[in-house]
Structure 1
Amino acid sequence: MTYQETIGYLYDRLPVFQNIGARAFKPGLTTTRELCKALGDPQDKYPTIHVAGTNGKGSTSHMLAAILQKSGYKVGLYTSPHLKDFRERIRVNGAFVPEDFIVKFVDDQKSNIDRLSPSFFEVTVAMAFSYFGEAKVDVAVIEVGMGGRLDSTNVITPELSVITNISFDHMQFLGDTLGKIAGEKAGIIKDNVPVVVSEDQNNEIRDVMVAAAKKANASLIFASRVYEVVYQGVREGKMLIDIKDKVSGSRVAEGLATDLTGAYQLKNIAGVWAAKEVLISKGWKISEDALADALQSVSAITGLKGRWQQLRTQPDVYCDTAHNTAGLTLTLAQFASVSKGVKRFVVGFVGDKDISTMLSLFPQDAAYYFCQPSNMRALKAKELQSMASEHGLLGKAYENVNEALEAAINDSLPADAIYVGGSTFVVADIKSL
């Protein structure tokens, strides 16, 4: 098969969560373990870092990969879903997995795919582990797909576990309380493996994390208790920050710059900083210069896209992959401060989310351009338009995000600002991304 035929086979033969949702969800590790066993368990042949969380796990994974790469290590990075190209999911030192590897892997594993009937995600996880082994990486950063305890990635025993935060998302799979969701995320905590939790959010979540770490005899750090990331403004497109040690009151870093300018990154960076300290304590060599170089060029080093990314100016256009109540709360608050002109929103959602709650976060004194992602789970733009009107959000419906964005730009004066988002898949459809 050609590469395109191979990708077509994967999408046609295997259940894909991003397309069909719950019907593709296969909780449990048995199939992934069988796939990995057939490959010689490559995931056990190099150190790994496991990253879970409701929001921020992608950014955190990319930052850690960038820091380790700038420190001289050969770094594998597995993330999902992809925005533009399937190969985004599997990278080594920022470079996509080669097409010929994917073709050969799928051809070699067809008998196992037929025998085990894995999900699309299970195959991609096994593919990533195999490629990282073949590439002889020094370390691989592995982002959880959903939850943690029953996620396919949870067949690894990492050097370090990181959990960014807990909020409501995928409740039909992970539970309807923060405590239940935290329990699923805490499922990545392994015996005697240190864990960093980026945010100390509340007693309910804290108790779950403490109990899980105690049961596993794993050291636990709540990064937000130890470090405060202090915002110092934006200069030349980079966010300037200081890192304050809350225990001593001293600043352990001053004048750091990062190309990830979303305000929510302040919380993620606290977790990354704590994770970096744990890695250093375990013998990993990470210099101050490598850290500074990595943070200011995360997107260039790892190819991260769609996290509070500015696409143009006059009018300013920002996109963000925030796709749940907690994530949108933060990005919409930041968007409210970016311009004195008219605020315009190009928004679309997938249909199996809590759309009504998310719509309640958007301001009524703004212009709306409703669209739908090119995804089988998409909420139709006309239906979204109707739902939004019940929240006082008025605008026209468009077939896709690019038509909606073009209309918003055409309607704008230079001082206006446009937000594009609501779903990862809406951002993925932007031609100029």
Structure 2
Amino acid sequence: MYQKIGVSAYKKDLTNSLELDNYLSHPHKSYDTIHVAGTNGKGTTCHTIASILQTAGYKVGLYTSPHLKDFRERIKVNGDMITKEEVTSFVSQHKSYLQEHKLSFFEMTVGMAFEIFKKRKVDIAVIETGLGGRLDSTNIITPILSIITSIDKDHTDLLGKTLSKIAVEKAGIIKSGVPVLINEHRPRLRSQFKKIAKMRSSEIYFSQGSRSQNDKSNHIDTQVQNECLAQRAVEILRLRSDYNITDSQITLGISETHRKTGLRGRYELISTNPKVIADVAHNPAGIRSLIYKLQEESFHHLHIVFGAVKGKAIEDVIQHLPKHASYYLCEPNSDRKLSIEELNSKFKEFDLETQPSTSVTNALHYAKIKAEENDLILVTGSTFVVAEIL
């Protein structure tokens, strides 16, 4: 599976997904779907939309990835993980087919989610792409709304090395006649999305106004950005369908996203003495936004526990990290981990103060020892790193 072993698990066509869908008798056609792609913010956006829909009284399926602690985090109904029995039942019932067709982890998980949502009789399911969009295993659905959260550089070995190429991959979820909502302000990318949407007779909406092409990222306050995107998505649902959702339900749903959906690892307060915050930011745009958000905090000195996985342009990430913080480098418990030797070497190229450690828990332990009363500890760099301290 990609989460564990990386690129070698990525499949570059939808044949298996389409065949599995046919074998399962197209379960996703039994309920409405919203399809969400993007470089950053798609998980938070999915959870926020799900929370709003739940607040309005709908039974909501939620499929996201990756998980932090438990595989079942990927598949939820009204904020609750599916049961272990549902997982084992799906696997045992379809074991011979799954083995015969050599399905990937992604392919099996998507099929499982779609079938369980059907059995649970959800009204609507919010579906997050795993990687890219055009060739993602989820891209067999015809949603009532497609959403693209952001375009930035990540997984460039698979999606392309330019923003334009990455945009094409994300735009692969735009379906004929299905409206699409896009969170993008850069004129060149907006024009690209407009062209693709027009070719597919898809009405296009933007969640924010156009800004200078020289502004290389989307709106820096990602939390507000994701909330506004989710709100705009629900407004479009109200406009184009019979979903009955009030403004007060939107406001309440946004405010209760964490409680109602179990969203974790997004600027999450872990402890207060010392203050520890964990965030799954792992690419240049995500780290840039995270460091900007830290400006809202009041602290004397910043300690950062940082680990990463292979396949990332780690130099592009490090350049956005603050120069005067103390860094506690670590290796997450993953086959894809970036070795502590290589990580430390990269940090040294930027003249950053580091203390290497072979484990996340040890790195956090050392950071807590060094931290004084008014200091702040940030744990970030990878989903795998954050997962080990939750």
Flag whether TM exceeds 0.5 (same fold).
Answer: yes
Residue matched to 1:47:
32
Indicate whether 1:275 and 2:225 are aligned: no
**Given that residues 157 and 311 in structure 2 are in contact (C-alpha distance below 8 angstroms), is that contact kept between their aligned partners in structure 1?**
no
Task: Give the drift of 1:334.
Answer: 1.6
Partner amino acid, structure 1, of 2:171: A
**2 CA distance for matches of 1:401 and 1:275?**
37
Question: What fraction of aligned residue pairs are identical, expressed as a percent?
Answer: 44
Deviations for 1:2-27, whole angstroms, at most 9, x for unmatched residues?
A: xxxxxxxxxxxxxx111111110002
For 1:41 and 1:369, locate their aligned partners in 2 and report how far apart those are by CA, in whole Å: 48
Q: Which residue of 2 aligns with 1:150?
A: 135
The aligned amino acid for 1:276 is V
Per the TM alignment, residue 337 of structure 1 is displaced from its structure 2 partner at its CA by 4.1
Shift of 1:315: 2.4
How far is the alpha carbon of 1:199 from its aligned partner? 2.5
Superposition CA RMSD, Å: 1.3
Structure 2 residue aligned with 1:203: 187
After TM superposition, give the deviation of residue 339 of structure 1 in Å: 2.5
Deviations 1:192-215 (A, max 9, x none): 111100222x23311221011101
Q: CA deviation at 1:82?
A: 0.3
Q: Structure 2 length normalisation: TM-score? A: 0.95
The C-alpha deviation readout for 1:251-273, integer Å capped at 9, x for no partner, is xxxxxxxxxxx931111122112
Aligned: 1:393 with 2:377 = no
User: Secondary structure at the residue paired with 2:208?
Assistant: helix
Q: Check conservation: 1:178, 1:204, Cα contact below 8 A.
A: no
Conserved in 1, the CA contact under 8 Å of 2:49 and 2:231?
no
Give the stretch that moved more between structures: 27-36 or 263-272: 263-272
Question: Which of 290, 300, 320 lines up with 2:259 in the alignment?
Answer: 300
Question: 1:225: Cα distance to partner?
Answer: 2.4
Query: Would the aligned equivalents of 1:322 and 1:328 in 2 still touch at CA under 8 Å?
Result: yes
SS at match of 2:164: helix
- The answer to whether structure 1 residue 98 and structure 2 residue 56 are counterparts is no
What are the within-5 Å matches in structure 2 for residues 9-20 of structure 1? 16-20=1-5
User: How far is the alpha carbon of 1:336 from its aligned partner?
Assistant: 4.0
Q: How does 1:115-126 map to 2 (within 5 A)?
A: 115-126=100-111
Aligned partner letter, 2:317: M
In 2: Cα distance, 1:146 partner to 1:308 partner: 22
Please state if 1:342 is matched with 2:301: yes
Superposed CA offset, 1:324-361 (max 9, x none): 00110010122244123111000000021001111111
Amino acid in structure 2 at the alignment position of 1:224: Q
Q: Which residue of 1 aligns with 2:126?
A: 141
Q: In the alignment, which residue of structure 1 is the partner of 2:64? A: 79
Secondary structure of 1:225's counterpart equals coil
Moved over 4 A (4+): none
Report matched runs for 1:411-422 at 5 Å. Answer: 411-422=370-381
Mean alpha-carbon deviation: is it higher for 358-367 or for 91-100? 358-367
Picking from 360, 367, 382, the partner of 1:408 is: 367
User: What residue ranges of structure 1 are gaps of 5+ in the alignment?
Assistant: 1-15, 227-261
Amino acid at match of 2:108: V
1:21 aligns with 2:11: no
Q: Note the alpha carbon deviations across 1:84-122, whole angstroms, 9 max, x for none.
A: 000000000011111111111111111111221111011
Q: What TM-score does the superposition give when structure 1 sets the normalisation length?
A: 0.86
Which of 1 and 2 has higher RCO (CA within 8 Å, sep 6+)? Answer: 2
- Residues 147-185 of structure 1, C-alpha deviation per residue, up to 9 Å, x if partnerless? 101100000000100110100011111111111110110
The residue correspondences of 1:176-325 to structure 2 (distance < 5 A) are: 176-200=161-185, 202-225=186-209, 263-281=221-239, 282-325=241-284
Query: Is the 2:302–2:376 Cα contact (8 Å) retained in structure 1?
Result: yes
Q: Distance in 2 between matches of 1:204 and 1:400?
A: 43
Report if aligned partners of 2:329, 2:354 keep a CA contact under 8 Å in 1.
Answer: yes
User: Relative to structure 2, which stretch is displaced further, 203-212 or 160-169?
Assistant: 203-212
Q: Give distance in 1, aligned partners of 2:174 and 2:310.
A: 32
CA contact under 8 A between 1:314 and 1:413: conserved in structure 2? Answer: no
Letter in 1 for 2:234: K
